[in-house]
């Protein structure tokens, strides 16, 4: 027979927040078009994408999957994953299928607070699929906050900043147009800029030279080649812009050629960053150990959710690398990345990029994040501190919600 003390303990544990279980998963595919000005700017660029990536299909907007995790007490946590076939290699339908037919059996009945154990089960039973796993993981942090009434960053080590500096993304067009756009962002308080490059050594150098002259010596510049070059070309291209002071050069060579990345990094002093070629924690580790990157790039689907992102950032910091948080997400993932940035503000070393609110017609949250003065403010409230706009979700959904129950 159980003692009275044991009975009281069991009652207390059964009513504690950590005992909450996930009883329903809801998945919705979404497409949000780019704003007209963004579509116009991209259409006027070489390749029609505002970057040097060699994709042939027009890029007219963002494809996403929204997930809701519902706990037995009725609390709801929301997550979001961005997908684009030329980069992520999966569609919303494939992500939803992976969750529905692979991951759901391990998620339903689990506690959102047991994210480490859940990640181990997902990894043991479903190979790779980092985007789908990250989608679920993201929602767990929002759900933890909703259940407890605490901000999500509390579950990542606590808030260490109230605002975070932002970098502006400058799409690849001509040097004059890119410089003009960068100056507009500078006037609004931005001090870091990512310049899209990849049209050849002379054009790249002209863009960076014009930007540096216009923005001044204090502006922080990073560049993104979107896999435009082979190793020899990349070495020459980066050497040509190095005198202008470059924080990092993103993905100068093909995404799957880590050895070429390592060769380029050995030949140049500008730190390299992988993006299209870095999707998992294993990728992060290998690229760092190969000395193929000296800056880490992280977003909500790479390397697969907040749990893996925290591990990656901490590992990079131990090896002396800073981290750039970047993406063009909707409001849910933007808020998640802001909480991540607040929890690791002391080791990032670089301004973050959040460009969904600039590029997309809607960010699917009720109250927008505070992007002012070249910074983003950490939202208050439980979880990610933002509320999914149900009307907007219905408007931009490309299919009916899929509901999975325990």
pLDDT at 68 > cutoff 60: yes
Distances (CA, A) of 36 to 33, 49, 225: 9, 14, 25
pLDDT bucket at 46, cuts 50 / 70 / 90: low
DSSP codes, 62-92: EEEEEEEEEETTS-EEEEEEEE-HHHH---H
Distances (CA, A) of 108 to 79, 81, 140, 152, 384: 16, 19, 12, 21, 22
**Percent of the chain whose predicted confidence (pLDDT) is above 70:** 96
pLDDT tens, position by position, 232-277: 999 999 999 999 999 999 999 999 999 999 999 999 999 999 999 9
pLDDT at 8 > cutoff 70: no
pLDDT tens, position by position, 357-396: 999 999 999 999 999 999 999 999 999 999 999 999 999 9
pLDDT at 290 > cutoff 50: yes
Q: State how far the Cα of 205 lies from the Cα of 183, in Å rounded to an integer.
A: 18
Question: What's the first-to-final CA gap in the chain, in angstroms?
Answer: 32
Show the domains of the chain with their CATH numbers: 22-149+391-405 (3.30.390.10), 155-388 (3.20.20.120)
- The helix (H) or strand (E) run that includes residue 120 is helix 115-125
Q: Return the structure tokens found at 179.
A: 């410089």
- Mean predicted confidence (pLDDT) in 209-227: 98
pLDDT tens, position by position, 109-167: 999 999 999 999 999 999 999 999 999 999 999 999 999 999 999 999 999 999 999 99
Model confidence pTM above 0.85: yes
Which pLDDT value is given to residue 309?
97
How buried is residue 10: exposed, middle or buried, by Cβ count under 10 Å (0-12/13-18/19+)? exposed
pLDDT at 23 > cutoff 60: yes
Q: State how far the Cα of 278 lies from the Cα of 103, in Å rounded to an integer.
A: 22
pLDDT at 90 > cutoff 80: yes
Which pLDDT value is given to residue 406?
83
Which pLDDT value is given to residue 18?
81
CB within 8 Å of 188: residues ≥ 6 apart: 373, 374
pLDDT at 10 > cutoff 60: no
């Amino acid at each position: 027979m159980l003692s009275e003390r044991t009975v009281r303990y069991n009652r207390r544990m059964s009513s504690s927040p950590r005992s909450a279980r996930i009883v329903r998963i809801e998945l919705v595919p979404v497409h949000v078009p780019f704003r007209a000005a963004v579509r116009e700017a991209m259409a006027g660029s070489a390749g029609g994408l505002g970057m040097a990536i060699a994709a042939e299909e027009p890029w007219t907007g963002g494809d996403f999957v929204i997930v809701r995790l519902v706990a037995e007490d009725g609390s709801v946590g929301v997550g979001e994953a961005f997908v684009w076939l030329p980069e992520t290699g999966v569609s919303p339908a494939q992500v939803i299928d992976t969750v529905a037919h692979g991951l759901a059996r391990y998620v339903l009945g689990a506690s959102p607070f047991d994210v480490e154990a859940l990640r181990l089960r997902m990894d043991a039973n479903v190979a790779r699929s980092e985007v789908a796993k990250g989608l679920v993981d993201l929602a767990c942090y929002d759900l933890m906050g909703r259940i407890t009434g605490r901000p999500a960053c509390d579950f990542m080590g606590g808030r260490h900043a109230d605002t975070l500096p932002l970098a502006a993304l400058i799409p690849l067009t001509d040097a004059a147009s890119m410089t003009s756009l960068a100056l507009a962002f500078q006037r609004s308080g931005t001090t870091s800029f990512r310049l899209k490059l990849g049209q050849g050594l002379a054009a790249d150098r002209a863009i960076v030279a014009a930007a540096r002259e216009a923005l001044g010596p204090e502006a922080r510049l990073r560049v993104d080649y979107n896999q435009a070059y082979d190793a020899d070309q990349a070495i020459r291209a980066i050497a040509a812009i190095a005198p202008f002071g470059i924080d990092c050069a993103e993905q100068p060579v093909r995404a799957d050629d880590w050895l070429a990345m390592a060769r380029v990094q050995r030949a140049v002093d500008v730190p390299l960053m992988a993006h299209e070629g870095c999707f998992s924690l294993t990728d992060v580790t290998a690229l760092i150990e190969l000395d193929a990157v000296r800056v880490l790039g992280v977003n909500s689907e790479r390397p697969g959710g907040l749990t893996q992102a925290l591990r990656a950032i901490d590992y990079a910091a131990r090896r002396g690398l800073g981290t750039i948080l970047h993406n063009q997400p909707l409001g849910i993932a933007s808020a998640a990345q802001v909480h991540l940035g607040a929890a690791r503000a002391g080791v990032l070393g670089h301004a973050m990029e959040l460009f969904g609110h600039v590029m997309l017609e809607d960010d699917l949250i009720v109250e927008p994040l505070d992007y002012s003065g070249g910074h983003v403010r950490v939202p208050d409230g439980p979880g990610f501190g933002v509320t999914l706009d149900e009307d907007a979700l219905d408007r931009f959904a490309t299919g009916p919600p899929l509901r999975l129950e325990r």
